[in-house]
Amino acid sequence: MFPEADAVAPAVTAVFTAVLTEGPISRVALARRLDLSSGAVTKAARPLIDLGYLEELAATERTGPGAGRPASPLAIRADSEFFVGVKITADELIGVVCDLRAQVRVSAHRRLPVADADQVLTQLGELVDDLLDGPGDYRARTRRLGLAVSGDVDPITGLVRYSPFLRWHDVALRERAEKITGLAVTVENDVKALTIAEHWFGEGVGAESFALVTVGAGIGCGLVVGGRLVSGAHGVAGEIGHIGIDVDGPDCHCGSRGCVEAIAGAGAIVRQARLCSGRPSLTFEDAVELARHGDVAVCEVFARAGDAIGAGIAAVANLVGPARIVVSGEGLAAYDLFEPHIRAGFQRRAFGAAADCPLSIRPLPFEEWARGAATVSIKALVAAG
């Protein structure tokens, strides 16, 4: 992407990433942060300024005691390029257009009558057109689309190997989406996409290690270790939803039993609440209402679910030792029912000082998951440098 020699490209990428995630920041601070010379930072920044990705702000600080003229911080030109992000669920597409700072400019939803891949791709093309051709006229400055999907995703090829909630097997999503939209497409597991967004632009900024645990239809986990997202050799690192915590527990769709997800996933909660309430048509929202009105048996379902999630989080803390853990997801609309049991389950099982890991529990709407998809496409732009 950048018209510079190969030897300079790593420095360009490093400068771009640092300003994007931590800026505005002066060249001197960048040199210290990246262990580069001031000349190397200036040389790396030049093509980024020429291409319109960076700009120099008015001088605001001096470079050091007794230094001469104040430094002019480098900052991202957020509107230099736009990115579409779409979160794909079993019954809805949630789309956003983000600027280069991952700030949402516009969003839209599109219901899915069925999750068949052909139907989803048709609806995806229409949603992208609506986003880019509506108010804001974003199409001229948009080249990239990020897609976030649950399940086993190969981000290199864009193949969705298995998505249990969509019931997809071996769907060549990137290739097909590029043909329909005409954009360069990145595909990532939805939890990992949300983790990247939190690492670059949210609670994980500046953290060398942190974990994001999501609660909803499934129980997922994204891990950052050494400043990098952990995918693992097979791309499925962080699947805490399939940690077994009860050998006599309910069957899980993965083929095992007693998994965290089989106890604490939204579907599992509904099944257990139906059994204990004797209401076969009860929904998740109904279960939440019953629990909030003091139904002892349904309260126990949420308590058991929270404890299972806490056990999964403790396993992450014990194995990885992250500096902080964020718990989020659409299932946390019922956070008041989960939270005390998540914290208690975590504290009971975390080993030694791992129990001191800060635990932040906050719900995020699906627009944030779509923003995560857009962030993955921003990351692809940076990597292309």
Average confidence (pLDDT) over 35-40:
90
Average confidence (pLDDT) over 233-258:
84
Q: In this predicted structure, what is the pLDDT of residue 69? A: 53
1 found inside a domain = no
Q: In this predicted structure, what is the pLDDT of residue 70? A: 57
- Structure tokens given for 130: 């609506």
**How much is the pTM?**
0.87
Q: In this predicted structure, what is the pLDDT of residue 363? A: 77
Q: Are 194 and 148 in contact (CB under 8 A)?
A: yes
Q: Are 212 and 194 in contact (CB under 8 A)?
A: yes
User: Residue 316: how many CB atoms within 10 A of its CB?
Assistant: 23
Instruction: Report how far apart the first and last C-alpha atoms of the chain are (Å, whole number).
Output: 5
4 found inside a domain = no
148 found inside a domain = yes
Give the integer Cα–Cα distance in Å for 290 and 255: 31
| Alpha helix segments (H runs only) across 113-223 | 117-133, 173-181, 190-201
295 and 162 housed in the same domain: no
Domain count, the chain: 3
Q: Where is the domain boundary, 76, 91, 110?
A: 76
173 found inside a domain = yes
Q: In this predicted structure, what is the pLDDT of residue 273? A: 94
Residue-wise pLDDT for 55-68, tens only, equals: 998 876 544 444 44
Residue-wise pLDDT for 346-355, tens only, equals: 999 999 888 8
Q: In this predicted structure, what is the pLDDT of residue 60? A: 63
- Band (7; pLDDT cuts 50, 70, 90): very low
- Structure tokens given for 337: 């029912």
Q: Write the CA distances from 151 to 8, 38, 134, 161, 189, integer angstroms.
A: 37, 44, 31, 8, 6
Q: In this predicted structure, what is the pLDDT of residue 5? A: 39
211 and 359 housed in the same domain: yes
Residue-wise pLDDT for 87-130, tens only, equals: 999 999 999 999 999 999 999 999 999 989 999 999 999 999 99
49 and 105 housed in the same domain: no
Give the integer Cα–Cα distance in Å for 36 and 14: 10
355 and 232 housed in the same domain: yes
Q: Are 264 and 252 in contact (CB under 8 A)?
A: no
Domain residue limits at 109: 80-195+368-384
2 found inside a domain = no
245 and 356 housed in the same domain: yes
174 and 120 housed in the same domain: yes
311 and 240 housed in the same domain: yes
Select from 329, 330, 337, 333 the least CA-distant residue to 291: 337
Give the integer Cα–Cα distance in Å for 269 and 176: 35
Report angle CA 13, 366, 277 to the nearest 5 degrees.
145
What single-letter amino acid sits at 174? R
Give the integer Cα–Cα distance in Å for 304 and 310: 10
3-state secondary structure at position 287: helix
3 found inside a domain = no
Q: In this predicted structure, what is the pLDDT of residue 144? A: 97
216 and 266 housed in the same domain: yes
- Band (249; pLDDT cuts 50, 70, 90): confident
Quote the mean pLDDT of the chain. Answer: 89
- Band (336; pLDDT cuts 50, 70, 90): confident
- Band (271; pLDDT cuts 50, 70, 90): very high
Residue-wise pLDDT for 346-379, tens only, equals: 999 999 888 888 888 877 888 999 999 999 999 9
Residue 41, domain CATH: 1.10.10.10
27 found inside a domain = yes
Torsion of CA 335, 196, 368, 358, to 10 degrees: 30
297 found inside a domain = yes
What single string gives the DSSP state of each residue in 276-321? Answer: HHT-TT--HHHHHHHHHTT-HHHHHHHHHHHHHHHHHHHHHHHHH-
Q: In this predicted structure, what is the pLDDT of residue 239? A: 82
174 and 245 housed in the same domain: no
Q: Write the CA distances from 364 to 31, 202, 223, 228, 330, integer angstroms.
A: 35, 12, 18, 22, 6
Q: In this predicted structure, what is the pLDDT of residue 9? A: 79
128 and 145 housed in the same domain: yes
Give the integer Cα–Cα distance in Å for 355 and 357: 6
Q: Are 100 and 80 in contact (CB under 8 A)?
A: yes
